[in-house]
Amino acid sequence: MAMSGGKDDGSPMMEMNTTPLIDVMLVLLIMFIITIPVATHSVDIDLPSPNPPDSPPPPVDPIKNKLVLTYDNKILWNAVPINQDQLIANLTTSKNMAVEPELQFQPEPQAAYDLSAKVLQVIKASGVTKFGFVGNEQFSEFAKN
C-alpha cells in the first residue's frame, strides 16, 4: 500500500511524506522560470543621419569667453573686470548669438566660495549650454603643497 498511515500493528509511520514538498518545489520552479525576462541579444544604437555630400558642414564660431574669479572678489570677463549686472548682460548677449560661444569658468585657488556659488547660480539661471570648468590642474598642484 503506497499511502499507508503506518504499520499494521498500529505504530506510527517514521518516514516523512515528501510528496507535498516535491509539489511545492515544482510549483516554485515553474514560477521562477515564468518570471525570468526574455534575454535580448540586440544593442540599440542611435546613429546620426548622414549629411548630403553636396552640403558643407555649418560654420563653427571659435569665440570662447573666459570668466575668472579672483582672490579679491573680482569677476573678470576676458580679462576685463565686470560686475554682476554686466555678467548677466554678457551671458544674455552670448546666449542670443547664432552660434553660442563657449563659456570657460576658472576661479583662482584663493577665490571666495561664496562668489563662486553666486556666479554659478547666475550662469545656471541664464540658460547657457556651452559651459566648462578650465584650469583644474592648478588645484591638483595646490593640494600637493
Q: What is the pLDDT of residue 53?
A: 60
Q: What is the pLDDT of residue 59?
A: 45
Alpha-carbon gap, residue 119 to 67, rounded angstroms? 10
Each domain of the chain, given as residue ranges in start order, spans 64-144
Q: What is the pLDDT of residue 27?
A: 95
SS3 77: strand
Note the maximum CA span of the chain: 108
Q: What is the pLDDT of residue 25?
A: 95
Q: What is the pLDDT of residue 30?
A: 93
* Local structure of residue 85 (DSSP, 8 states): H
Joined together, the cell numbers standing for residue 110 give 584663493
pTM for the full predicted model: 0.52
Q: What is the pLDDT of residue 135?
A: 78
Alpha-carbon gap, residue 105 to 116, rounded angstroms? 10
> What CATH code would you report for 64-144?
3.30.420.270
Q: What is the pLDDT of residue 24?
A: 94
pLDDT in tens, the chain (145 residues): 455 555 667 777 778 888 999 999 999 999 988 888 777 666 677 767 765 665 554 444 457 888 889 989 898 888 888 888 888 888 888 888 877 888 888 888 888 888 888 999 998 888 888 888 887 776 665 555 5
SS3 76: strand
